[in-house]
Amino acid sequence: MTYCVGMLLDRGLVFMSDTRTNAGIDNIATARKMHTWEVPGERVITLMTAGNLATTQTVIGLIDERTKAPEDRSPSILEAPSMFQIARAVGRTLKEVIADNAEGGAQASAATFGATMILGGQINGSEPRLFLIYPEGNFIEASADNPFFQIGEAKYGKPILVRAYDPAMSFESAIKLLLVSFDSTIKANLSVGLPLDYTTYEQDSFHFGQQGRITADDPYYQTVSNGWGEALKTAFSHLPDFSFETR
């Protein structure tokens, strides 16, 4: 599996992805699942992927090739007029790759080759936008009511996102929140693993903000991981115990 989160903040967008891939539990590797394109001053695009690695790498490869061959009949994501059109193009490409892989193969269904993606970015002249793209090629958009998307092993890390997300938070707080969510997931599920990639994008800047990779020996990661465990235990001990007497 995988775990990726894309988040819409008042000040822009923030993305985090793990890097573990596995084909069975005895065949694990590290692969980048966060891909970014930038036309400085004009547009920034981030795409994160979860699912079949052959599918996602093919999709990324096709998208990336088109950006370098502008005479291609399919419009490049660097030329599409809106994030909405980019979401449509990515969704169409994803659907085609899945159908292509599934077709004629022995005993393999479309689900085997499935993948889900988070797309976010901004094009000069419109707002930052964030989309969740399904293997069927269709997609939904984030909004104030639904301001973040998770793909992959999303359940373990969801409760803290639900409780602590705040649209006004700083990028520094958002990275902290994402690290807590990722750490809860990593502690509970072997298929999600360090290092973690992150990217921030400040609204109307039209170039990426901070981009980096957090490894297992990162001191800040260790502070969050240990500190959160302790903080949870303290918070838990401060809640009043259940009482059988008052029942």
Residues that bind a copy of itself (CB under 8 A): 153, 155-160, 162-164, 170-173, 175-177, 179-180, 184-185, 187-189, 210, 212, 220, 223-224, 227-229, 231-236, 238-244, 246-247
- Which residue lies nearer to a copy of itself by CB, 71 or 241? 241
State the distance between the two ends of the chain, measured CA to CA, in whole angstroms.
44
**Measured from the CB atom, is 71 or 230 closer to a copy of itself?**
230
- The CB-of-89 to a copy of itself minimum distance in angstroms stands at 32
Q: Quick one: 127 or 172, whose CB is closer to a copy of itself?
A: 172
CB of 224 to a copy of itself, least distance (A): 6
**What is the β-pairing status of strands 211-214 and 20-22?**
unpaired
d(CA 167, CA 46): 19
CB of 204 to a copy of itself, least distance (A): 19
Query: What is the sign of the dihedral through the CA atoms of 173, 175, 176 and 182?
Result: positive
Tokens of 156: 């373990």
**DSSP calls for 1-52:** --EEEEEEETTEEEEEE--EEESSTT-EEE---EEEEEETTTEEEEEEEEE-
Give me the least distance between CB of 24 and a copy of itself, in Å please.
Answer: 21
> Nearest approach, Cβ of 161 to a copy of itself (angstroms)?
9
Residue among 48 and 180 whose Cβ is closer to a copy of itself: 180
Nearer to a copy of itself, 132 or 177 (CB): 177
In the complex, least distance from residue 201 CB atom to a copy of itself, rounded to whole angstroms:
13
Q: Which is nearer to a copy of itself, 73 or 247 (CB)?
A: 247
What are the residues facing 51 on neighbouring strands? 115
Q: What is the Cα–Cα distance from 69 to 246, expressed in whole angstroms?
A: 73
Q: How far apart are CA 101 and CA 128, in angstroms?
A: 33
Could you check whether the bond before residue 195 is cis, i.e. omega within 30 degrees of 0? yes
